[in-house]
A and B are shown apart, each in its own frame.
Chain A
Amino acid sequence: MRTLKFLLQKEFRQIFRDPAIIRLIFIMPVIQLMILPWAADYEIKNIQLAVVDLDHSSYSQKLISKITSSKYFQLAHYSSSYESALEEVEHDRADLILQIPPSFEKELVKEDKAQLFVAGNAINGVKANLGAAYIRNIINDFNQSIRMEWIQLPRFSAQTQIEVTSSNWFNPLMNYKYFMVPGILVILLTMIGANLTAINIVREKEIGTIEQINVTPVKKIQFILGKLIPFWIIGLFVLTLGLLIARLIYGIIPAGSFFTIYAFAALYLLAILGLGLLVSTYAATQQQAMLISFFLMMVFILLGGLYTSIDSMPRWAQIFTKFNPVSYFIEVMRMVVLKGSGFADIKYHMLTMLGFALVFNGWAVFSYRKRS
């Protein structure tokens, strides 16, 4: 115990003396949480629309103004040639082409039906897809409103209509920030936890101080605890800072209890610090440690369900996410923050995380050698 006290004292002195670490702990969470949630938003806005109007009628004008008056579309190009519109797409100045055929108004009035043509720039597939869906909705709406104009009376429309109304549970306004902020906080904790531990230990290897420690009677477990505890505390501090920012800037108040969040985070940090430790036992230089962490982080983030829904991943990728500690924490954070889940709901997640913590730390302790 006394040995551990001396090691912890040393570690904290070093951390607080390193301005780079202090900056990392304070500034990184603040900046990431202030900037990323605004940018990482799925809602597609500002779709650049090129209109090919071959009709030049009052209905075509009405349709165009209806589309561009929504916040989703901006009229980027207006012409009467498909080629010139396509050119806009080729130069990436337009995302979507809407072509209105020559006899649009005439057919609409006479034949009671008309056709429109929509082409999307699928280089950004999400944008093309969503843009086409939005525009279809707007056209549908337009369709109904002109029908209403025509059939004023009788009140009963000849055509039955089924309208779907939906309500969004747990996030009624579909505010993306409620969804992203908890996830980004998880990534932050992961990066700080795993990287700081790995770099810290590998740096001692590089400088040679670890050898000096290895020649003392300090036990493996004491040395490892001396490294884990400070970064565990820092991790919980960063979490607190993050939750504070979430509340102050985004007004996010967890629906569940803070105790649940902290309990899971404490366990999660143990697992992630263990991973950092594991990286440090295999890396000989700080560069190696950085690269390994970077690689792991990429996989964890992309397969963690932060940006893309795990449910829509292919089967094999879904299996991968089962081995990704990040995906559990992101899920738990969203459950607790948005749904107000308690311990009973995240029991399985807790047990799995305990498993991760045991495996990573056990492996790290096993592969850390005082003697070669």
Chain B
Amino acid sequence: MNQTKVIITDKLTKRFGGFTAVDAICFEVTKGEIFGFLGANGAGKTTAMRMLCGLSFPTSGKAMVAGFDVYKENEKIKQNIGYMSQKFSLYEDLTVKENMQLYGGIYGKSNAFIKQKTESILTELDIKKEANVLVKSLPLGWKQKLAFAVAIFHEPEIVFLDEPTGGVDPVARREFWNMIYNAAATGVTVFVTTHYMDEAEYCNRVSIMVDGKIEALDTPHQLKQTYNAGSMDDVFLKLARKAVRTGD
């Protein structure tokens, strides 16, 4: 495996007034990795992810994403990352094709690229017939897959997924993870938060955040051994129970 580090954080911290949402987290993510970012509600996952995506200013600490500094070069980072937020955020009053055209266009991709990429995604997701259907009329499972496809439309180095499979049925979730694997196989680094522990098992490495700090970081297999647990579920429970903060 190529050992280039695409995300490096060093004591990255975010405070809101007296409240420390993210408390000096340090970790590295390797190129092509599927990195699971776990934690209870309110542990600070989304805040950490928003800092890495350039949506939120860090209070202190350092972070490099795709080789760029989050403080000074956040616009350069944006060209090289994809992001799928907790909320479904494609334009529902645009069609499937129009959404892809829009996001391809604002990342500066050529018309030929947009056309060819749109075709390949429609084929991959098997939604050729729905190409000109408004996104709002698609079922949720399809929307999520489409959102992921749009997030990596411009072929970014890293894609950030914030609870991408919330509220989706098990079949659609399995399909979603197949898409993640396919993307990772092409060299995209996947940074994903989730509450489903079976999904955590699919990750190459997993970090678990408790009260703004990273309490554990290793492969799922190694974590189970360290915490002497039968499943990732048990590992998570053992760590998350230590939390003082309550979720939102």
Contacts and interface: CB of A to CB of B under 8 A. Distances in A.
A208 interface: yes
Contacts of B89: 207-209, 211-212
B94 A13 contact: yes
A261 B55 CA distance: 43
A165 interface: no
Interface string B81-119: 101010111111110001001110111100000000000
B101 to A, nearest CB: 7
Contacts of B98: 10, 13
Contacts of B101: 6
A203 to B, nearest CB: 11
Nearest to B151: A212
Interface string A266-310: 000000000000000000000000000000000000000000000
Contacts of B134: 17
**What secondary structure prevails in chain A residues at the interface with B?**
helix
B148 to A, nearest CB: 13
Contacts of A216: 78, 103, 106-107
B57 interface: yes
Contacts of B54: 215, 370-371
Given A3-B108, A6-B105, A14-B93, A372 B56 contact: yes
A372 B101 CA distance: 28
A7 B57 contact: no
A5 interface: yes
B74 interface: yes
A14 B93 CA distance: 6
Contact of A2 (B74, B91, B102, B108): B108
A213 B106 CA distance: 9
Given A211-B55, A371-B55, A371-B57, A14 B91 contact: yes
Contacts of A18: 93
**What secondary structure prevails in chain B residues at the interface with A?**
loop
Contacts of A211: 55, 85, 87, 89
Interface in A168-214: 207-209, 211-214
Contact of A215 (B55, B87, B94): B55
B130 interface: no
Contact of A7 (B56, B79, B87, B106): B106
A371 B85 contact: no
Contact of B91 (A5, A209, A372): A209
B198 interface: no
A371 B108 contact: no
B78 A217 contact: yes
A217 B73 CA distance: 11
A230 to B, nearest CB: 14
Contacts of A7: 102, 106
- Contact-size category for A: 20 to 34
Nearest to A219: B75
B94 A208 contact: no
A372 B94 CA distance: 28
A214 B81 CA distance: 12
Interface string B40-56: 00000000000001111
A6 B106 contact: yes
Contacts of B56: 371-372
Interface in B111-129: none
A213 B92 CA distance: 14
Nearest to A372: B56
Contact of B93 (A5, A17, A214, A218): A17
Nearest to A5: B105
A212 B88 CA distance: 10
Contacts of A218: 106
A208 B102 contact: no
Nearest to A210: B89
A6 B55 contact: no
Contacts of B103: 216
Given A5-B105, A6-B101, A372 B55 contact: yes
A208 B88 contact: yes
B105 A215 contact: no
B81 A215 contact: yes
Given A10-B94, A208-B88, A217-B106, 16 more contacts: A2-B108, A3-B105, A10-B98, A13-B93, A17-B93, A17-B134, A207-B92, A209-B89, A211-B55, A215-B54, A215-B81, A216-B103, A217-B75, A371-B54, A371-B55, A372-B56
Interface of B: 53-57, 74-75, 78-79, 81, 83, 85, 87-94, 98, 101-103, 105-108, 134
30 contacts: A3-B106, A5-B105, A6-B101, A6-B106, A7-B106, A10-B91, A10-B98, A13-B93, A13-B94, A14-B91, A207-B87, A207-B92, A208-B89, A209-B90, A209-B91, A211-B85, A211-B89, A212-B85, A212-B89, A215-B54, A216-B103, A216-B106, A216-B107, A217-B75, A218-B106, A370-B55, A371-B57, A371-B74, A372-B56, A372-B57
